[in-house]
């Protein structure tokens, strides 16, 4: 069993720009061996983020007063907001028993899938590498996109729990035309708190051998 992964849960929606700066600073400390880093669990206020393959034409409607960040991560355009769990694993994955980026990503993906299935009751979940996320048939419920530097990522995963899905209608999510987006609430009719889902994912991760 590798060392236990450190975690931190934030209790209220966080400003995207501030958390981006925090991730970058934390990663620099991890790379410099000044910190073990942490996996951050949080919600954001409403924000659109565009990855390295994002395009202006992915906006179907103006963003209005919602901020837009162009960032260095895989993927295209997505939305974050209250009711969505965001997970940023800012750690050196080698220190926790992972042999490759793929193994690291799948560990998180499998943990999220297990919690959404067993704890939340979402059915028919499948992970698709080529579509970078978890899908309920033809509807995307969880997303991933990262940027690695010396084995330490920033950015990470987002999971739709009870967020307002109408914001996704303004964009081409993940660069996939006519992409359907869903959430735990939409699939089950149940409303879960973001923190309780975060705690369940942490327990799942801690219970897995690596």
Polymer length of the chain: 210
Strands 180-181 and 139-149, sheet pairing:
parallel
Told to judge if 179 belongs to the known catalytic residues of this protein, a careful annotator would answer no
What is the 3 state secondary structure string of the chain?
CCCCCCEEECCCCECHHHHHHHHHHHHHHHHCCCCCCEEEEECECCEEEECCCCCHHHECCCCCCCCEEECCCCCCEEEECCCEEEEEEECCHHHHCCCCHHHHHHHHHHHHHHHHHHCCCCCCEEEECCCCEEEECCEEEEEEEEEEECCEEEEEEEEECCCCHHHHHHECHHHCCCCEECCHHHHHCCCCCHHHHHHHHHHHHHCCCC
Which residue in the list 77, 90, 174, 201 is annotated as catalytic? Answer: 174
User: Which residues are known catalytic residues?
Assistant: 174
């Amino acid at each position: 069993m590798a060392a236990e992964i450190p975690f931190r849960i934030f209790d209220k929606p966080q400003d995207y720009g501030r958390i981006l700066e925090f991730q970058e600073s934390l990663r620099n400390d991890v790379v410099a061996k000044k910190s073990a880093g942490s996996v951050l669990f949080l919600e954001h206020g409403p924000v659109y983020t565009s990855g390295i393959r994002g395009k202006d034409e992915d906006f179907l409607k103006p963003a209005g007063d919602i901020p837009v960040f162009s960032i260095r991560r895989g993927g295209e355009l997505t939305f974050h907001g209250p009711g969505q769990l965001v997970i940023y694993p800012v750690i050196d994955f080698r220190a926790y028993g992972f042999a490759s980026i793929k193994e690291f990503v799948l560990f998180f993906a499998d943990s999220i899938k297990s919690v959404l299935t067993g704890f939340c009751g979402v059915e028919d979940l499948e992970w698709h590498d080529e579509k970078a996320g978890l899908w309920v048939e033809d509807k995307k419920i969880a997303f991933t996109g990262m940027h690695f530097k010396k084995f330490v990522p920033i950015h990470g995963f987002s999971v739709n729990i009870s967020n307002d899905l109408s914001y996704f209608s303004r964009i081409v999510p993940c660069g996939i035309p006519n992409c359907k987006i869903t959430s735990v609430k939409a699939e089950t009719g149940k409303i879960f708190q973001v923190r309780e889902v975060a705690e369940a994912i942490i327990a799942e991760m801690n219970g897995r051998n690596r």
